[in-house]
Structure 1
């Protein structure tokens, strides 16, 4: 459900209520790869944006199938907030985010700092910082910069790295973790 308001009970809402009661134990890091390869019947993502004030908490995958409507909500939520441009987020990145979140054993939603970036936004950020890649995976909807106040960036990094499914950047100075579905690698920024 997004911040646009409640419009009635939906199939996804009912499934969300079921999912909230179905998760009993917190998985361990050693089981992380299983969450990406058929690891469970339900996948959920929960985030908020300090920039727009929006929130999303949605089940986007059930029993081996992505839910198109839910992924469209994720795409809109993870849009470039500077110019409202929307791109299709790579579902592999959403899977990595969801698996990492589940491993962290918290109900706190991620704070999304950056999802999709339009070329204009990426060029502007590159002009202000040497840490922004010219061909950033944010441009392709394949990356997210995230924060949790209840978990350290070291904990977030360990969870994401244990998924062995993409890139993980730890940015201590800015207190966030970058997750993407590119080559498996890790770095500190």
Structure 2
């Protein structure tokens, strides 16, 4: 049964109309399952980039459906800022990031340090650091490096690991956590 109001709009249509805007009300978490516990009927992603100055506060999933325009905006936000290349980020990783954020019970947006990396960017970073994998999941749109000023690297890593959706790397010296949707594993200190 579909709920409609006097204008004939469905509840889903009304929710979809507001999905790409900033929502200040806390989402409900009544139908969370598996590693997405804490994501609920509405999945939201809040981030900012210190590199580009951009911010995103996006509901990208409502009641079982990804919102195409919202996902497109997330993909653009998580682009390789060095080359301005955009790819489709793996939605599993976006879900892990959102679920971990909800488990942390924080309003602060993630600071995105690295989302998608082009092969050229990855090679350049690899030449400067031993901590960059040759076949990094960043190049497939399956990883993100994130920071929160109000939560420790350990707290963030525990929340991400609790999702059991992929890899979680702690980089305490650099104050960030790597989250990916690859093989479930943990590393770092």
Q: TM-score, normalised by structure 2?
A: 0.85
Q: 1:161 to 1:109 in 2, by over 3 A?
A: same
Distance 1:38 1:156 in 2: 14
Are residue 62 (structure 1) and residue 90 (structure 2) matched?
Answer: no
- Match of 1:157, SS state, is helix
Q: What's the secondary structure of 2:168's corresponding residue?
A: strand
Question: Which position in structure 1 is the counterpart of 2:8?
Answer: none
- The DSSP-based 3-state class of the residue aligned with 1:145 is strand
User: RMSD of the alignment, in Å?
Assistant: 2.1
TM-score (norm 1): 0.85
Q: CA deviation at 1:96?
A: 0.2
Q: CA deviation at 1:35?
A: 5.5
Structure 1 ranges of 4+ moved more than 2 A:
20-25, 32-35
Q: Secondary structure at the match of 2:19?
A: helix
Instruction: Output one character per residue of 1:74-117: Cα deviation in whole Å (capped at 9) or x when no partner.
Output: 00000001110111100000000000000000000000000000
The reply to whether residue 11 of structure 1 matches residue 33 of structure 2 is no
- Residues 1:48 and 2:55 aligned together: no
Deviation at 1:130, TM superposition (A): 1.0
Q: Structure 1: 5+ residue runs without aligned partners?
A: 1-9
Q: Helix, strand or coil for the counterpart of 1:21? A: coil
Change beyond 3 A, Cα 1:133–1:57: same
The corresponding residue for 2:119 is: 119
Distance in 1 (CA, whole Å) between partners of 2:20 and 2:52 is: 23
User: Unaligned 5+ residue runs, structure 2?
Assistant: 1-16
Name the CA distance, whole Å, in 1 between partners of 2:159 and 2:167. Answer: 12
Between Structure 1 and Structure 2, how many residues are aligned? 172
> Residue 36 of structure 2 contacts residue 163 of structure 2 at CA under 8 Å; is this kept in 1?
yes
- Which deviates more from structure 2 when the two are superposed, residues 37-46 or residues 68-77? 37-46
* Bigger CA radius of gyration: 2
Q: Counterpart of 2:25?
A: 21
Aligned equivalent of 2:11: none
Q: CA deviation at 1:36?
A: 1.8
SS state at 1:117 partner: coil
